Structure 1
Amino acid sequence: MNTQSVLIHRKMVMLLAAVSLLSACQDSDMPLSVAPSYQTVNAQELHIDDNYQFNQEFSGSIRSGNTTGVGFELAGKINALTVDSGDSVKQGQRLAKLDTRLLLAEKNELTASISQNQADLDLAQTTLNRSLGLQQQGYVSEQQLDEQRGQLNSLKAASNRLNAALLANQLKIEKSDLLAPFDGVISKRTHNLGEVVSLGSPVYTLIEDNNIQAYIGVPVDIANQLSTGQSVDVRVRNQHYQGKIAGISAELNPVTRTVELRVTLPPSADVINGELSYLSYQQTIASQGYWVPLSALTDGVRGLWNIYVLSPVANPADGELYQVERRDVEIIYTVKDKAFINGAINSNEQYVSQGLHKLVAGQLVTQQAQLATR
């Protein structure tokens, strides 16, 4: 075989190898038949309701039935303070005392005057009796008897005046002791020992025990639906108490435009004077709609919200399939993690309850579960 024949033979071998290699590459690029995969969603069924419970809270404050600034009925210098802020006191307990030395001196003076008046009375009565005896013998005139009777009556009037002054002095001494008007707790002391206080100036602020009340303002239409003695739910901090309406104001507050309720709380309520309180009131609102979890809603346009409804696909080739449809809805009321809605939806339709971020309108999905929810 000559050189030219050898070269031709080698070219043919290389050509056949290249064709075989190309054929192998084409075979490896052939697509494989793969079954389609669909997103699985959690679904629930819509159920229509004719009304919903509308819960409202109205705020107010805790105040004791009696919160009193306790002070002396007299002016004077404070001689003793027996209690202080935070102390519990009983009705009639002495809280403070004024200096009574001037009053005691006045009492001694009045006592002496009464004794002198009594001596004058005894003398005037004896003189009159003697004169009456002498009149029968003709030694005393009627003029003298009238004068003696007048003197005796004047001394009796002076005796009454002195006794009244002594009684007033005794009352002043008694009122120099500041007594607790009811059982309670001292919340504040406003004067110190040795201070001269004016008439009526409060020395303590006393908060009554076992008479806890909440004062809460509500709108007029709510107040018209309530009555005295009705039980209501009152929340203070995280504690709920069953209170009773003790009174409903007959006047509208010009600032808040509300009617004030006075609600009595149980004596065991753990509250502090001045704390915020909240009254819960539930109304039944007549309106048709559907309860759904908030996780089933997504933002829409023009102030509306969207919900994804599952529409069955007719004659699916890959089992039971549903097409995702976006529907516009309006939120009527929300409470915790639920919303009461209405819109382009119907009762008994299936909707996607969660995982909306994984879906788009028109997508084919399979349903994981069908749970009825209200």
Structure 2
Amino acid sequence: MLRPVSTVAVSLALAVFLSGCGKEQAEEQRPRPVMVVHPQSAEAQLETYPGEVRARYEPDLAFRIGGEVVKRLVDSGDQVKQGQVLAELDPKDVKLKLAAMKAQVTAAQANLKLVRAERDRYQQLLEKQLVSRSQYENFENLYQAGEARLKQVQAEYNVSANQAGYAVLRAPRDGVISRRMLEVGQVVAPGQTVFNMAADGEREILISLPEGNIGQFSIGQAVRIKLWSRPGVFLSGKLREISPAADPQTRTYAARVAITENDGKPVDLGQSAQVYVSPAGDIPLSVPLPALTADGAQSYVWIVDPVELTLKRVAVTAGPYGEEEVPILHGLQESDWVVSAGVQLLNEGVKVRPVDRDNRPLSLAGGE
């Protein structure tokens, strides 16, 4: 009785074992899920400097003469056109001075007319030998003095006329009033800044460079620019200007970055920006740290064929490791799909099922 029972038990155990092997083989043949990502720009590996979008030309506007402000026609943020009136001073004093100079011009003209007539009369008398040459020369000198006096007061009148026009402050070119520093009733001195203007046209990024490594920067050095309003979009630029002296309070050097290659969209004043500086001016790609594996001194990553959905090990050149990412200097393209975790358990040519960080299936051939 025992022998038949033992035979049946062995048969059942063998069947269960074979069934388990079949399941393992089926599971091995089933595509394995792998988390994949695209390589990203290795921004964290570059020196980054925050900045602000500024105009290429930012003139300080001031009256050429002093006086009391009687009109203020624009405010901060207003768009202005070339020649537009911005503010006016009380013109009473300059008009009075202009009238006084005009009276002096009239007096000088009358005096010149008188001495000219006397000179001409004495010239006729000299020709008839009725007066001496010294008498004639005296009136000739009076005439020349009168002529010089007229030229002097005429020039002074022109200056006064110009000053009358200086009582009106006009925009030197198209732009935006970025700052206002006057009010009606305020008395301003000649040359005192009353408006800051951001001229239309070229835009730049104003950044501050640290004193410790200012020697690493040079005029014309290529940089990359990213605006906070356009995440993921990089603009090309170069260092156009570096201040020759450090700020006495912050101990940093002000620098201007010119935008050399834009994407066609306007860059608004005051926008926040990040300027990325690297020796070559290019931003390398980066992958998460778990995506990188090594065989001796050679580093590798696993990429997924978007059509066949099979694994391929690719040799890469890695840069200095970061806390979460590592830059890949050579070996990867932005369009590659890289396995970002569990790379130590992968094999060449294995069929996989790509998923994202939320374990959602990805269609790589569809470009998702």
TM range, smaller chain? 0.5 to 0.7
The alpha-carbon distance between structure 1 residues 370 and 256, as it changes in their structure 2 partners (threshold 3 A), is farther
Q: How many residue pairs are counted as aligned between the two chains?
A: 285
For the residue of structure 2 that corresponds to 1:213, the secondary structure is strand
Displacement of 1:116: 1.6
What is aligned with 2:166?
175
Alpha-carbon displacement from aligned partner over 1:206-226 (angstroms, at most 9, x marks no partner): 1111221124559779757x9
Displacement of 1:199: 1.7
Looking at structure 1, the residues matched to 347 and 122 of structure 2 have their Cα atoms a distance apart, in angstroms, of 131
CA contact (8 A) 2:42 2:327 kept: no
Looking at structure 1, the residues matched to 236 and 49 of structure 2 have their Cα atoms a distance apart, in angstroms, of 14
The alpha-carbon distance between structure 1 residues 194 and 282, as it changes in their structure 2 partners (threshold 3 A), is same
What is aligned with 2:95?
104
What is aligned with 2:259?
263
Tell whether 2:268 aligns with 1:275.
no
Alpha-carbon displacement from aligned partner over 1:284-311 (angstroms, at most 9, x marks no partner): 69xxxxx97555699xxxxxxxxxxxxx
The alpha-carbon distance between structure 1 residues 83 and 63, as it changes in their structure 2 partners (threshold 3 A), is same
Displacement of 1:334: 5.7
Looking at structure 2, the residues matched to 203 and 188 of structure 1 have their Cα atoms a distance apart, in angstroms, of 8
CA contact (8 A) 1:42 1:368 kept: no
What is aligned with 2:147?
156
Unaligned runs of 5+ in 1: 1-29, 45-51, 286-290, 299-329, 341-350, 360-364
For the residue of structure 2 that corresponds to 1:83, the secondary structure is coil
More strand by share: 1
Unaligned runs of 5+ in 2: 1-8, 35-39, 294-317, 329-338, 355-368
The alpha-carbon distance between structure 1 residues 84 and 261, as it changes in their structure 2 partners (threshold 3 A), is closer
Displacement of 1:331: 9.4
Alpha-carbon displacement from aligned partner over 1:299-342 (angstroms, at most 9, x marks no partner): xxxxxxxxxxxxxxxxxxxxxxxxxxxxxxx99536987786xx
Looking at structure 2, the residues matched to 215 and 265 of structure 1 have their Cα atoms a distance apart, in angstroms, of 17
Alpha-carbon displacement from aligned partner over 1:41-70 (angstroms, at most 9, x marks no partner): 9488xxxxxxx9865352242221122221
Percent identity (aligned): 21
What is aligned with 2:49?
59
What is aligned with 1:68?
59
What is aligned with 1:12?
none
Tell whether 2:186 aligns with 1:195.
yes
Looking at structure 2, the residues matched to 191 and 70 of structure 1 have their Cα atoms a distance apart, in angstroms, of 11
Tell whether 2:200 aligns with 1:209.
yes
Displacement of 1:100: 1.4
For the residue of structure 1 that corresponds to 2:83, the secondary structure is coil
RMSD: 4.8
For the residue of structure 2 that corresponds to 1:333, the secondary structure is coil
Rg (Cα) greater in structure: 1
Looking at structure 1, the residues matched to 287 and 157 of structure 2 have their Cα atoms a distance apart, in angstroms, of 82
**TM-score normalised by the chain length of structure 2:** 0.61
Aligned positions of 1:286-365 closer than 5 A: 294=289, 332-333=320-321, 353-354=341-342
Alpha-carbon displacement from aligned partner over 1:89-125 (angstroms, at most 9, x marks no partner): 1122211111111111111111112112111111111
CA contact (8 A) 2:177 2:195 kept: yes
What is aligned with 1:242?
235
